[in-house]
């Protein structure tokens, strides 16, 4: 590991035990080990993980990387933003510079994961938020359990959904990503699978058995990454114990239609107006009216600056590749370190016990001008760029998305439009194509129910 840059070497004060690494035949496990802090990610941990990943990348003996968290509650509850906010509050510009350096280090790790040339598997067993999302969502294989609690809560602390959220969230189906980014809504258990956040779902009780089974896999030297991931995919399905209580997608039907309708707009004001119309509509179902009321209340608690910057981020990020994503987020994060909402939000929500209401500056959407928002996306002259650790492996879409996750709407649409067929024929074709993968039937049924109708001959037709 002598070629690893000095910024990744251990520093005074680093905890020697905050990450644990183990070997089981060809599997290399990474366990975040700060359970009392919900495995919150800090610089000490990142400085350990990056060199190990680079080492595993070069080793012919390391075939599969598995990352998880210690303790029963969290995979990783986020970056240690409380410490960053305290540093800024106490040390001003010096603290801002230190915090910017931390985010640069974190984003280098996230980008390394996103472009990693070997199978990388994340166990989302427990709370998975903020920095924990960066360690997991860019992995080709992301396993949810009954304990999964996924969210991006940054707009509530005066920040923005970083760690590659600019890339991941806009590429979720419809406007789910925008909804999750602005509201901080959480996805629990198998709902992370249905929403596309996870690629697999198994019970947490079999994770250790799965790791042992993965260690038995032997790949051929000429197997491509795609081939290896397909083998792993089929291996994970060996541990399929079914959906919990036959649970179906929750962000579905009329609710999903309402999400896509309300969060399609390019200004926060128009989104709020659409939600108000749903709330006040005499035709809207009661559950949609209640949802709109709750969502408006949630948005009212968020930083107005964070809301507007995040919405703009969702629209621009849909066009960024992975390298541009992390470079852009690096500069956006630096701007937030200089904005009062970050320290105010983190202090109010995470440091004060009990939590208090944050005092946002400005405290209204009207006070956040377009120029103010656009300034977050300008790269100032003389600003340093992020020196990413991987070159030439960037992409515009996740390369293994179609093969490893549940079917997406566009996949079902293609099948429906390919030739005339009935509803059950389409479902069976999708289940067969996915080799009986857990959740496929439920996901396809939801899509068909929301996006299709039947013609006079009993065949499914796609609604435009």
User: Among all residues, which ones are annotated catalytic?
Assistant: 79, 131, 154, 162
d(CA 344, CA 330): 21
If residue 315 lies in a helix (H) or strand (E), which one and from where to where? helix 304-317
Q: How far is CA 101 from CA 2, 50, 86, 339, in A?
A: 22, 15, 15, 16
* Sequence-distant (≥ 6) Cβ neighbours of residue 367 within 8 angstroms: 304
Q: What does the radius of gyration of the chain's CA atoms come to, in whole angstroms?
A: 22
d(CA 314, CA 335): 17
- Per-residue DSSP letters for 229-297? HHHHHHHHHTT----GGG---SS-HHHHHHHHHHTTSSSHHHHHHHHHHHHH-SSS-HHHHHHHHHHHH
> 415 and 426 in contact (C-beta within 8 Å)?
yes
d(CA 130, CA 152): 6
Q: Where are the alpha helices (DSSP H) in 405-457?
A: 409-418, 423-433, 440-451
Cα-to-chain-centroid distance, residue 281: 33
d(CA 127, CA 376): 29
CB atoms within 10 A of CB 356: 11
CB atoms within 10 A of CB 241: 11
Identify the three-state secondary structure at position 397: coil
Burial 420-435 (b: 16+ CB within 10 A, else e): eeebeebbeebeeebe
Angle of helix 93-114 relative to helix 81-91, nearest 10 degrees, comes to: 150
């Amino acid at each position: 590991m002598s070629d690893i840059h000095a910024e990744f070497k251990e520093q005074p004060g680093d905890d020697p035990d905050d990450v644990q690494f183990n070997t089981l035949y060809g599997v290399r496990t990474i366990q975040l080990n700060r359970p009392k802090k919900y495995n919150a990610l800090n610089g000490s941990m990142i400085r350990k993980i990056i060199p190990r990943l680079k080492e595993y990348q070069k080793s012919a003996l390391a075939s599969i990387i598995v990352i998880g968290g210690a303790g029963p509650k969290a995979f990783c509850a986020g970056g240690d933003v409380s410490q960053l906010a305290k540093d800024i509050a106490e040390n001003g510009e010096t603290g801002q510079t230190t915090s910017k350096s931390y985010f640069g280090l974190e984003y280098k790790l996230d980008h390394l994961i996103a472009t990693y040339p070997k199978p990388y598997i994340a166990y989302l067993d427990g709370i998975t938020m903020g920095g924990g999302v960066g360690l997991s969502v860019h992995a080709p294989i992301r396993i949810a359990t009954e304990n999964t609690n996924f969210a991006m809560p940054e707009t509530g602390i005066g920040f923005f959904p970083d760690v590659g959220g600019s890339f991941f969230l806009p590429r979720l189906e419809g406007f789910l990503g925008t909804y999750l980014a602005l509201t901080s809504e959480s996805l629990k258990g198998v709902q992370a699978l249905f929403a596309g956040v996870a690629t697999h779902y198994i019970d947490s009780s079999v994770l250790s058995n799965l790791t042992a089974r993965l260690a038995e896999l032997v790949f051929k030297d000429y197997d491509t990454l795609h081939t290896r991931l397909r083998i792993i995919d089929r291996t994970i399905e060996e541990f399929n114990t079914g959906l919990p209580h036959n649970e179906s997608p929750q962000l579905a039907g009329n609710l999903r239609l309402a999400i896509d309708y309300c969060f399609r707009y390019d200004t926060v004001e128009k989104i709020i107006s659409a939600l108000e119309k749903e709330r006040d509509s005499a035709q809207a179902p009661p559950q949609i009216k209640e949802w709109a009321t709750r969502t408006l209340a949630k948005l009212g608690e968020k930083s107005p600056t964070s809301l507007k910057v995040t919405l703009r981020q969702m629209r621009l990020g849909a066009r960024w590749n992975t390298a541009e994503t992390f470079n852009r987020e690096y500069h956006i994060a630096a701007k937030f370190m200089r904005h009062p909402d970050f320290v105010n939000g983190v202090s109010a929500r995470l440091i004060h016990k009990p939590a208090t209401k944050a005092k946002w500056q400005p405290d209204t959407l009207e006070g956040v001008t377009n120029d103010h928002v656009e300034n977050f996306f300008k790269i100032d002259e003389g600003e340093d760029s992020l020196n990413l650790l991987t070159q030439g492996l960037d992409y515009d879409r996740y390369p293994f998305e179609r093969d490893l996750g549940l079917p997406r709407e566009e996949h079902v649409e293609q099948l429906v439009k390919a030739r005339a067929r009935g509803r059950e024929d389409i479902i069976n074709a999708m289940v067969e194509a996915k080799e009986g993968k857990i959740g496929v039937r439920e996901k396809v049924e939801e899509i068909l129910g929301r996006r299709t109708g039947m013609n006079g001959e009993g065949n499914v037709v796609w609604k435009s």
